[in-house]
Amino acid sequence: MKHAVVIGGTRGIGAGIAGELRRKGWRVTATGVGADEVAACAAQYPDETCVQLDVRDTKAVTAFFAGIGQLNGLVNCAGILARGTEYEIETFEKVIDINLTGTMRCCLAAQPLLAASGGAIVNTASMLSYFGGPLVPAYSASKGGVAQLTKALAGKWAADGVRVNAVAPGWIETEMTEALRADPDRNQPILSRTPLDRWGKPAEVGALAAWLLSDEAAFVTGAVYPVDGGYSAM
């Protein structure tokens, strides 16, 4: 059975990806930063390994992957935004450290295991990899960085047999977007701009991530795939 680690897999889009991988027969280890969300994950999915991990802690990340053993897929989905406060440099640095540098930490720690198995990485970019977000400059910068990091690592690690791709979600139904969905003045413009006229679901991002980790995507690397209902095409 193939084994995937989903960083940030205990909630939101990460949980949707973990669920799709489980459905397709993968053994999943999901990480989360909060003890409560990790405990809730373990209670809901007793056959899944749920681990507390802070991607800002290089030693903890290294130790985590050192104890993994077999690894066939890595999904980096840990991320935060701090709408309206990212112009404060401390907040800016925190968002970058989690979203971008944390992704790099996990990629570096997992690479030897993935090279041994011929595995693959899926990073989580965003539609804000392409658009500026005036209220979230750190989030926008971090997700632009994730897209470019994905391409750089794909080129570097192709010779080792490790594929690296990214998904770029648009407006997805998660806790992070709950306030926007509840506000008609924010919700309606989003739907009006989205050709499919609805919000996406975490499992829909998960379906693409699972395909990118699969053997069916064996000739795909360095790609960043939008999952946004056509939003970025408009």
Task: Report the pLDDT value the prediction gives residue 176, as an integer from 0 to 100.
Answer: 82
Task: Report the pLDDT value the prediction gives residue 180, as an integer from 0 to 100.
Answer: 85
Torsion angle of C-alpha atoms 42, 46, 49, 52, degrees rounded to 10: 10
What residues act catalytically?
A: 139
For the chain, what are the domain ranges? Answer: 3-227
Say how far apart CA 79 and CA 118 lie, in whole Å.
26
Arithmetic mean of pLDDT over the chain: 96
Task: Report the pLDDT value the prediction gives residue 47, as an integer from 0 to 100.
Answer: 75
Say how far apart CA 79 and CA 62 lie, in whole Å.
19
Task: Report the pLDDT value the prediction gives residue 1, as an integer from 0 to 100.
Answer: 94
DSSP result, 107-128: HHHHHHHHHHHT-EEEEE--GG
CA distances from 74 to 36, 89, 98, 104, 144 (A): 23, 30, 16, 12, 20
CA angle, residues 196, 24, 195, in degrees to nearest 5: 5
Beta bridge partners of 166: 123, 224
Task: Report the pLDDT value the prediction gives residue 177, as an integer from 0 to 100.
Answer: 87
pTM listed for this prediction: 0.96
Environment class of 105 (CB within 10 Å of its CB; exposed 0-12, middle 13-18, buried 19+):
buried
- Superfamily name and number for 3-227: NAD(P)-binding Rossmann-like Domain (3.40.50.720)
Say how far apart CA 29 and CA 188 lie, in whole Å.
37
The answer to whether the CB of 140 falls within 8 A of the CB of 90 is no
What residues of the chain score a pLDDT lower than 70? none
DSSP 228: S
